[in-house]
Structure 1
Amino acid sequence: MAEISAESLVLRAEGPVASVYLVPPVGERALGVLKVYPRGLDRRTFNAVEVEQAKLAGLRVASSVLLAEGVEELPDGRTGVRMEFCPQSLVELAGGRGLPIGDVVVLGQILGSVLAEAHESGLVHGGVTPGNVLERANGQPALADFGMALRLRFPRDLTGAAAYTAPEVLRDGELSEEADVYGLGAVLYLALTGQAPFPARTGETPDDVVLRVLREPAPEVSGRDVPPALTALVRRMLAKDAGTRPDAAAVVREFETLLRGTADAADELDFDDFQDELAAGRSSVPVAIASAKAKPRRKAPRKEVLVGIVAAVALAVAVPILLRPGNENTATGQPSVPAAPPASQAPPATEAPLIKLEQPQDKGTTVVLKWSFGKPLTYAVFVAEQGAKTPRSTYRGSGTTLTVQVSQGLKYCFEVQGTDGREVFYSTPRSIRGATCKS
């Protein structure tokens, strides 16, 4: 453990257990934060933190987790966890009014994916609240304060976050995967409505809020044209009985279904607000996308958007994609796509790096896709099937692998698109079974 000077810290926030300080940049080290706990860590807790962080770093969705950068020891014996500085949390971004619905759907898919993969690895978050959903400087969302070791070492007063805490946790302190799902449901409730499922009423004490969480169902999410399927999903996540809640993997599947639906209704859900900027970031725009840009779009006021990067990729799902295998090549019977515009009409090429999509692994009824890039991106995968009119798309979040269901005897093309919130990156299309893919 490294030692840090207390005089160099600038208090940023006081929490129920720890205090958060800004750590000024030193040399090549950027501005960061230090979450300082009231006492030092015993060896067992320190080792447990290291194990948790190593597991989190190994997750495919690690780019959506705020990892600890190190443990610092203060001269007075207190211990702090150093982390990346994130400008805002969901509390500030929701601003009492909520986020655009399309952003909430994408946020749910990303946070659900983090919890699903963490649970599969035996990790429980233990405190999913809006204050732990942070916006990175580049606009990406990240789930912070992950893990049980520090929660067991420094127990907190659960009444302070009762509005976002599962009933069984308030009754007996049971932190579990089911409680994480409840917390995510409460977080999404805030993102949709701008307030907690159980906001404190005038004259109420914290114990009064706890009693309502234990006894009353959360009010229905309504208004703002919230899709009924989203309302129903949040209601199930906030079920009083932990056994009736969906697990995190089921939540992700439902959000992926919602993403496909919102892509089909992009105008209604403002998924296309940044379409022109995305299209401009591409080095070579196919005819289909170029014509889509000419279509008049309804422009919404730009807001503080927590998930600008992920909404951008969801956008890509709503835009016509360059793979068009429905027009089969009559000479070869293989999927084909419209040729790129002539050089005289095409936009000037840039040297944007490509996503490296490996050769797909054809396993008969499934195909395994793997790809990589030099920095974290948020991805969507497009699958063009022989005979289909349009490609199908899958939102992948920060994951870099995907298993795709395919039909035996048909030919396929695959492409991966990703964004860092400012620029869109593309892979070279890959094929199986002799398909011809052109962009």
Structure 2
Amino acid sequence: MAEISLQSLVPHAEGPVASLYLVAPPAGGRTAVLKVYPQPLDRRTYNAVEAEQARLAGLRTASSVVLVDSLDDLPDGRTGLRTEFCPQSLPGLVAEGPLPIGDVVILGQILASVLSDAHEIGLVHGGITPANVLERASGQPALSDFGVALRLRFPRDLMGDAAYTAPEVLRNGELSEQADVYGLGAVLQLALTARSPFPARTGETADDVVLRVLREPVPPVSGRDVPSALTSLLQRMMAKEPADRPEAAEVVRELEALIQAPDPASDDDLDFDDFRDELASARITPASAPPTPLAKPVRKPSRKWKKPSKSVVIVAAAVVSLLAVVPVMMQPGHQRSAPKASPPASVPPVPAPTQPSVAPAVQLELKPPKDNGTSVLLEWTSSKPLIFAVYLAEQGGKGAQTTYRGRGTSMTVKVTPGLKYCFEVQGTDATAIYVSKPQPIRGATCDN
């Protein structure tokens, strides 16, 4: 635990239980955020936070989580959690109106994937609100304030975020996987409509909002530009009874299906790159007060959370077809040749897509892997935001395997000590597939 001086802190924001400060970076460093709690952490809470963060760092989707870099002591005895600085949060993103539908679906898929992975190992977020959905300087979304240890040590007043809080949490403080799903559904409804599921009415108190959350069904999102499958999913995610909500893994599957397929109730495909944002103001909920009319329809540009078009969804589906350019273990001096092995039986063959074009302007580079014995840290850079797939090939193994698919630019891969591996990153921008130079560890020879 490091000690930090008060003079180095710049006030940034006040949260319900903690104060946020910006920490000026050292030469060549990055700006950080210090979340300072009103009292020191006791040993039990400190150990619990460390354990939560270690488990979060091991998630496949850890790149979409704002992790704690360190716990710092202040001279006045308070404790701060140091994290990366994310310049934007969801409330700021929706300040000018609803987000494009495609962005909302991609955002939901990213956050639900994090929750699914965390729930699988017994971790609960415990307080998903719009303020905890951040956008990094790179433009990618991430989920912050993950874990229950600090929530138990410093309970917050739920009144301010009642509209995003599951009924059972308001009743008895129960933090659970089902409550996480409810919070995610409420956050996505805000992204889709620019209003909370239970906006305060004129003359209403915070207690009145709580009563509506406990008693009234969540008004469905309407508007003919909203896929019926998305409306239905949000309704189930915010069901009053926890048992009626889908698990996070099911939310991931349904959002991915929505990404890859047209809405059954519509004659048109859901176009994530050119959808009809002039209809955004029609996404109203019947039980809510109508939004302030816009002077004219506003077309809101899509963010960087772009979904590949149908022609490039093959990056996820046609893994077998792409293995021809995945790193292959070879003996020194062996010439590159097409792989003769047939696809694994568990992966059905996929018709070969039209040969994608490769734009030289996009530079995708996989850095030399950092071998830690039982794990390898992979980091890569791209001159353009892409959706990435990471492959590894193990010497003596059954061929290349997909270990990651998403928008992050780093991950940790578990490996077997003593074995040789090759790694490769592929990316797509919905028009082409870009391939990095493969990188070896432990003397492996990779096909270029």
TM-score after normalising by structure 2: 0.69
Query: What is the deviation of 1:268?
Result: 5.8
| Rounded Cα–Cα distance in structure 1 between residues aligned with 2:181 and 2:123 | 13
Answer whether contact 2:88 2:135 (CA < 8 A) is retained: yes
Q: Is 2:406 the partner of 1:397? A: yes
Q: Is the 8 A contact 2:125 2:180 kept in 1?
A: yes
**Which residue does the alignment assign to 2:281?**
none
Q: 1:361: which partner in 2?
A: none
* Aligned mates of 1:51, 1:135 — CA distance in 2: 25
Counterparts in 2 of 1:347-362, with a 5 A limit?
A: 352-353=364-365
Q: Distance in 1 between matches of 2:191 and 2:44?
A: 37
Distance of 1:350 and 1:108 partners within structure 2? 27
Give, in angstroms, the shift of residue 8 of structure 1. 1.6
The Cα offsets for residues 297-317 of structure 1, whole Å up to 9 and x where unpaired, read as xxx956373xx1x31xx2254
Alpha-carbon distance between aligned partners in 1 of 2:356 and 2:10, rounded to the nearest angstrom: 55
Asked if the contact 1:109–1:397 (Cα under 8 Å) also holds between the matched residues in 2, the reply is: no
Query: Which residue in 1 is equivalent to 2:435?
Result: 426
- For the 8 Å contact 2:66–2:83, the answer to whether it is kept is yes
Corresponding position of 1:48: 48
> Is 1:355–1:371's contact at 8 Å kept on the other side of the alignment?
no
Give secondary structure in 2 for the equivalent of 1:69: strand
Judge conservation of contact 1:130–1:187 (CA < 8 Å) in 2: yes
- Counterpart CA distance in 2 for 1:219 and 1:38 is 38
In structure 1, C-alpha distance between the alignment counterparts of 2:82 and 2:429, rounded to whole Å:
24
Residue 418 of structure 1 and its aligned partner are, at CA, apart by: 2.7
Q: CA deviation at 1:202?
A: 1.3
Q: Name the counterpart of 1:97.
A: 97
Deviations 1:370-429, CA, capped at 9 Å, x for gaps? 9965259864669xxxxxxxxxxxx9435889xxxxxxxxxxxxx9743699x9743699
Answer whether contact 1:96 1:195 (CA < 8 A) is retained.
no
Larger displacement relative to structure 2 (152-161 or 24-33): 24-33
Alpha carbons of 1:219 and 1:78: their partners in 2 closer, same or farther (altered >3 Å)?
A: same
Q: Deviations over 1:228-274 (max 9, x none)?
A: 00000000000000011001011111111111115999986442359
Q: Name the aligned partner's letter for residue 233 of structure 1.
A: L
| 8 Å Cα contact 1:218-1:238 kept in structure 2 | yes
Q: Distance in 1 between the 2:267 and 2:69 partners?
A: 38
Q: 1:157/1:419 Cα in 2 relative to 1: closer, same or farther (>3 Å)?
A: farther
Change (3 A) 1:7 1:247: same
Map residues 83-232 of structure 1 onto 2, 5 A cutoff: 83-95=83-95, 97-223=97-223, 225-232=225-232
Are 1:374 and 2:380 matched, yes or no? yes
Q: Please state whether the residue corresponding to 2:261 is helix, strand or coil.
A: helix
Relative to structure 1, the CA distance from residue 40 to residue 166 in structure 2 (aligned partners, 3 Å threshold; closer, same or farther) is same
Does residue 1:248 correspond to 2:248, yes or no?
Answer: yes
Inter-partner Cα distance in structure 2 for 1:11 and 1:420: 39
Contact 1:61–1:113 (Cα < 8 Å) also in 2: yes
**Greater CA drift, 235-244 or 87-96:** 87-96
C-alpha contact (below 8 Å) 2:198/2:218 kept by paired residues: yes
Partners of 1:336 and 1:302 lie apart in 2 by 35
C-alpha distance 31-340 of structure 1, shift in aligned 2 (>3 A): closer
Aligned CA distance change for structure 1 residues 425 and 268 (closer, same or farther; 3 Å):
same
CA distance in 1, matches of 2:267, 2:356: 25
AA aligned to 1:272 is: D
8 Å CA contact 2:33, 2:84 repeated in 1: yes
Cα 1:51–1:261 change in 2 (3 A) is same
What is the Cα-based RMSD across aligned positions, in Å?
4.0
Aligned letter for 1:123? L
C-alpha displacement at 1:353, in angstroms?
Answer: 3.0
User: What is residue 280 of structure 1 aligned with on the other side?
Assistant: none
Divergent runs of 4+, >2 A: 262-274, 300-305, 315-325, 334-341, 346-356, 370-382, 395-401, 415-421, 423-429
Counterparts of residues 199-348 of structure 1 (less than 5 Å): 199-223=199-223, 225-261=225-261, 269-272=270-273, 301=299, 303=301, 305=303, 308=304, 310-311=305-306, 314-319=307-312
More deviation in 172-181 or 264-273? 264-273
User: 5+ unaligned residues in a row in structure 2: which ranges?
Assistant: 276-297, 322-339, 343-350, 369-375, 391-403, 413-423, 439-448
TM-score when scaled to structure 1?
0.71
> Partner of 1:11: helix, strand, or coil?
strand
Judge conservation of contact 1:39–1:78 (CA < 8 Å) in 2: yes
Matches of 1:124 and 1:163, distance apart in 2: 19
1:154-206 deviation digits (Å, cap 9, x = unpaired): 01111111010000000000000000000000000001110100011111111
Q: Deviations over 1:72-109 (max 9, x none)?
A: 11111111101111111011101252110001111111
What letter matches 1:68 in structure 2? V
Task: Provide closer, same or farther for how the CA distance between residues 106 and 318 of structure 1 changes in structure 2, counting only shifts above 3 A.
Answer: farther
Aligned to 1:72: 72
What is the SS of the residue equivalent to 1:34?
A: strand
Distance 1:2 1:347 in 2: 46
> Aligned equivalents of 2:132 and 2:274: distance in 1?
27
User: SS of 2:46's equivalent?
Assistant: helix
Q: When the two structures are aligned, how many residues end up with a matched partner?
A: 355
CA distance in 2, matches of 1:102, 1:194: 15
Task: Please list every run of 5 or more consecutive structure 1 residues that lacks an aligned counterpart in the other structure.
Answer: 275-299, 326-331, 357-369, 383-394, 402-414, 430-439
Change (3 A) 1:72 1:304: farther
CA distance in structure 1 between the aligned counterparts of 2:240 and 2:359, rounded to whole angstroms: 56
Q: Which moved more, 1:213-222 or 1:1-10?
A: 1-10
**What amino acid is aligned across from residue 218 of structure 2 in structure 1?**
A
Deviation of the 1:148 alpha carbon: 0.6
